[in-house]
Amino acid sequence: MNQITTLELRRRTIAKSLLWRLIGIVWTWVGAYFILLLTPQRFRSASLMATAIVIYHHSTRMIMYYLYERIWSNIRWGRIDEDKLETVAISTKIKLIWIFVVMLALALILFLILYVNPLMKKLV
């Protein structure tokens, strides 16, 4: 049986790691923000808040990681096919998508900090 071996370039691994970290930061920040925002003042003990954030974080991240890896398994960029000794370059379209996603994540964080947070302080 002829087996095909596929290797990953370092830049692919670095890109995957950085993107996963960015997703994790945004996901945890947004989740913790809304947990704190939606929890009534009388239930806001440090231990309860920490527990809620940890439960949110770990219960959702396992599903997210599975989906993240499934998406990456379909992206050919940064792989080396050992049999053909060739690599796949990243397309301009994919570069633009990456830039857009990063900018969108940063815009969401800024929106929450600069617009939603002051509104919530007025309501509380």
The length of the chain is 124
Residue 121: per-residue pLDDT: 67
Q: Kindly report, residue by residue over 13-72, the tens digit of the pLDDT.
A: 888 998 899 888 888 888 888 888 888 888 888 888 889 999 998 889 889 999 999 999
Q: Assign 77 a pLDDT band (cuts: 50, 70, 90).
A: confident
Task: Locate the domains of the chain by residue range.
Answer: 6-89
- pLDDT (0 to 100) of residue 9: 83
Q: How far apart are alpha carbons 5 and 83 in whole angstroms?
A: 7
More confident residue, 39 or 86: 39
pTM for the full predicted model: 0.63
User: Which is higher by pLDDT, 52 or 99?
Assistant: 52
Long-range contacts of 71-74 (CB under 8 A, 24+ apart): 72/16
Three-state DSSP at 74 gives: coil
Q: Whole-angstrom Cα distance, residue 117 to residue 122?
A: 9
CA end-to-end span of the chain, whole Å? 67
